[in-house]
């Protein structure tokens, strides 16, 4: 007889493992199936985020930032560091240890919350008596049955047509995080989030980095003023970003990769690099789920169609995270996972899409929440804007990192905060204040009147709020 569960979660990334834990907290008997294997063939739950995404990329960003500081910034503090070298193998090994700590942490959390973990691929099977069962193909094969199913199967890197990833010369995010030595010349296609983060890692370590971007504007989804400021900083660092290109034929050989493209002026160009990272977005993953057998509806992009509550077209089947519409972010996947578990328990799970923060972990960091100035204009919303540069912030000067600003946008009549955009040091941490403020429908005046610790970078947020009312104190 098949094992019976109240809830079966397919996929153990941030969407899936968090849904499983929340469902278990709510008293359900829960199974979570995940197929990711570590290099010994054992389980490695945590999905893209833990294994080849958020966590390892931040580990490498941290290591490469230390290297850059030692080489370029220690001297201004009076510290002499000579003969600074980077041991890439050690950096990658440290990253792997950080990943493993996270994998082990999730297995521990499953145990603690009494979630039954199955290591293998889950797929839908039509049950003889109607409905469906889930087949788990792992070391052994078994079938389990759940009253409710949550699909959280994530996404995969999109390849350029005709140029599959070989993970040696043409790299997805997976190969990009396992490069064994600093390439002399590194090419990237796509100056989105991965292009900028991975480009920054290898540029800091000494690679000559060129990013080819199809769109004529840099970071089109980011507030224009912020994107412009970030671009200036990246140019200064020597990150070469070519906009408005059309990528043509890509050839690989023993020597490396040759990319033919036309530049924004329509001129034929070619780029020769040792390795190429293709970071042109990701595609929802339903491979091997056997969705056709049960009639699960997908859209034209291959994403599972869900309603506002993450319900699919099949009764009792839900889907969350990268495999459904919306931003492909770990924290969005987690919020959906929690909300679905709570809805299954009859509660009112809730995800506010208007207050999901975005962060790009470059240097300077870029972070934002809410609408950009260009979106407000397009929506015909009357707004007030205030900004404050880190150059005028004492803590930023003490840190030696004064690039960028905090910019606040508020409704012209009600003063409600509509968007906060940051480029500069610790933007990833600073954005949380803006998220909380927007979640509570705060006005810019609320932030302007809240006491912020001195000296702190967060004072720039308070000053940006003061700037909305044209009364900055320190600028
Ligand atoms: P995933 O994390 O992709 O997890 C899906 C899991 O399901 C995987 O383990 C997969 O093996 C498993 N699976 C799939 N099919 C089956 C099946 N049939 N049976 C069993 N298991 C299955 N987001 C951020 O918010 N912050 C960041 O800093 C950030 N950095 C990133 C850096 C990189 C390089 C990349 C590529 C992504 C990054 N992301 C970041 C995005 C983030 O990783 C995703 O949004 C997040 O992982 C989505 O979570 P998920 O649970 O939907 O899917
Ligand atoms: P992306 O959508 O951020 O950027 C892709 C870029 O490639 C875009 O600028 C696009 O215009 C460009 N592009 C697309 N096709 C092209 C082509 N043929 N030629 C040239 N340029 C082309 O996607 P990316 O960087 O691959 O990352 C995928 C997703 O992973 C992100 O959207 C994000 O959701 C997530 N992620 C989040 C991170 C974070 O939160 N810090 C870090 C990394 C990834």
**Does ligand 2 have an atom closer than 6 angstroms to the CB of 216?**
no
Annotated binding site: 58, 122, 153-155, 190-197, 213, 281, 322, 328-331
**Residue positions counted in the chain:** 475
pLDDT of residue 128: 80
Which numbered ligand comes closest to the C-alpha of 17? 1
pLDDT digits (tens, 9 = 90+) for 323-332: 999 999 999 9
Beta-bridge partner residues of 271: 259
The class (CATH top level) of 158-280 is alpha beta
Annotated binding site for NAD(+): 190-197, 213, 281
Q: Which ranges in 205-329 belong to alpha helices (H)?
A: 224-237, 291-294
**Does ligand 1 have an atom closer than 6 angstroms to the CB of 291?**
no
pLDDT of residue 451: 98
Which numbered ligand comes closest to the C-alpha of 216? 2
Give me ligand 2 centre to Cα 158, in Å.
Answer: 9
Q: Could you tell me the pLDDT band of residue 1, with boundaries at 50, 70 and 90?
A: confident
pLDDT of residue 132: 86
Q: Is residue 130 over pLDDT 80?
A: no
Find tokens 């010369």 and name the residue.
169
Q: Could you tell me the pLDDT band of residue 299, with boundaries at 50, 70 and 90?
A: very high
Q: Is residue 10 over pLDDT 80?
A: yes
Tell which CATH classification among 3.40.50.300, 3.30.70.260, 3.50.50.60, 3.90.1150.10 matches the domain 3-154+285-345: 3.50.50.60
Cβ 64 vs Cβ 198: under 8 Å = no
Entry pTM: 0.98
Q: Residue 143 and residue 454: Cα distance in Å, rounded? A: 59
- Please report, rounded to a whole number, the percentage of residues in the chain having pLDDT higher than 90: 97
**Does ligand 2 have an atom closer than 6 angstroms to the CB of 120?**
no
Nearest CA to ligand 2 atom 12: 190
Beta-bridge partner residues of 150: 9, 318
φ, ψ for residue 19, nearest 5 deg: -60, -45
What CATH number was assigned to the domain covering residues 357-469? 3.30.390.30
Cβ 390 vs Cβ 443: under 8 Å = no
pLDDT of residue 88: 97
Query: In the structure encoding, which two tokens stand for residue 307, read together?
Result: 């309603």
Structure ipTM over 0.85, yes or no: yes
Give me ligand 1 centre to Cα 15, in Å.
Answer: 8
Is 357-469 the same fold as 3-154+285-345?
no
pLDDT digits (tens, 9 = 90+) for 49-108: 999 999 999 999 999 999 999 999 999 999 999 999 999 999 999 999 999 999 999 999
Domain boundaries in the chain? 3-154+285-345, 158-280, 357-469
Substitution candidate for ligand 2 out of 154, 176, 194 with most atoms within 8 A of CB: 194
pLDDT digits (tens, 9 = 90+) for 325-362: 999 999 999 999 999 999 999 999 999 999 999 999 99
Substitution candidate for ligand 1 out of 103, 287, 330, 369 with most atoms within 8 A of CB: 330
pLDDT digits (tens, 9 = 90+) for 176-212: 999 999 999 999 999 999 999 999 999 999 999 999 9
**Does ligand 2 have an atom closer than 6 angstroms to the CB of 360?**
yes
Q: Is residue 2 over pLDDT 90?
A: no
Give me ligand 1 centre to Cα 283, in Å.
Answer: 11
Q: Which residues of 65-99 are buried (b: 16+ CB within 10 A; e: fewer)?
A: bebbbbeeeeeeeeeeeeeeebebeebbeebbebb
φ, ψ for residue 431, nearest 5 deg: -65, -25
pLDDT of residue 164: 97
**Does ligand 1 have an atom closer than 6 angstroms to the CB of 43?**
no
421 catalytically annotated: no
Cβ 386 vs Cβ 411: under 8 Å = no
- Tell whether omega for the bond before 428 is within 30 degrees of 0, i.e. cis: no
CB-side neighbour CA atoms (13 Å) of 128: 1
Give me ligand 2 centre to Cα 214, in Å.
Answer: 11
């Amino acid at each position: 007889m098949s094992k019976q569960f109240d809830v079966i979660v397919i996929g153990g990334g941030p969407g899936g493992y968090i849904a499983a834990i929340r469902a278990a907290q709510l008293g359900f008997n829960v199974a979570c199936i995940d197929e990711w294997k570590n290099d010994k063939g054992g389980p490695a739950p945590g999905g893209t985020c833990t294994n080849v995404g958020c966590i390892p990329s931040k580990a490498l960003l941290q290591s490469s930032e230390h290297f850059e500081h030692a080489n370029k910034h220690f001297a201004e503090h009076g510290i002499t560091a000579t003969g600074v070298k980077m041991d890439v193998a050690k950096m990658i090994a440290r990253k792997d240890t950080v990943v493993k700590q996270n994998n082990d942490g999730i297995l521990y959390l499953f145990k603690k919350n009494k979630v039954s973990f199955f290591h293998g691929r889950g797929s839908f099977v039509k049950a003889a008596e109607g409905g469906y069962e889930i087949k788990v193909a792992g070391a052994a094969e078994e079938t389990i049955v759940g009253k409710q199913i949550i699909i959280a199967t994530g996404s995969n890197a999109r390849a350029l047509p005709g140029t599959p990833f070989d993970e040696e010369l043409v790299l997805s995010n997976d190969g990009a995080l396992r490069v064994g030595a600093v390439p002399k010349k590194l090419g990237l296609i796509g100056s989105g989030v991965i292009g900028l983060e991975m480009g920054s890692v290898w540029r800091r370590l000494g690679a000559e980095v060129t990013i080819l971007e199809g769109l004529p504007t840099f970071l089109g989804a980011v507030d224009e003023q912020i994107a412009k400021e970030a671009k200036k900083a990246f140019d200064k660092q020597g990150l070469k970003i070519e906009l408005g290109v059309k990528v043509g034929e890509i050839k690989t050989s023993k020597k490396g990769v040759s990319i033919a493209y036309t530049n924004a002026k329509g001129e034929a160009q070619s780029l020769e690099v040792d390795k190429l990272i293709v970071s042109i977005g990701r595609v929802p993953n339903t491979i091997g789920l056997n969705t056709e057998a049960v009639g699960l509806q997908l859209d034209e992009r291959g994403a599972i169609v869900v309603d506002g509550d993450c319900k699919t077209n099949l009764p009792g089947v839900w889907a969350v995270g990268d495999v459904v519409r919306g931003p492909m972010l770990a924290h969005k996947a987690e919020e959906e996972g929690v909300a679905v578990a709570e809805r299954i328990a009859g509660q009112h799970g809730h995800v506010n899409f208007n207050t999901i923060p975005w962060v790009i972990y470059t240097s300077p960091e870029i972070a934002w929440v809410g609408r950009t100035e260009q979106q407000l204009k397009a929506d015909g919303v009357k707004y007030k804007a205030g900004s404050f540069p880190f150059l005028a912030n004492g803590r930023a000067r003490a840190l030696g990192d004064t690039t960028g600003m905090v910019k606040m946008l508020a409704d012209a009549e009600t003063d409600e905060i509509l968007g906060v955009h940051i480029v500069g040091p610790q933007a990833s941490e600073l954005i949380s204040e803006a998220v909380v403020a927007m979640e509570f429908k705060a006005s810019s005046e609320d932030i302007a009147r809240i006491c912020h610790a001195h000296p702190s970078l967060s004072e720039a947020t308070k000053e940006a709020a003061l700037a909305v009312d044209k009364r900055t104190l320190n600028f």
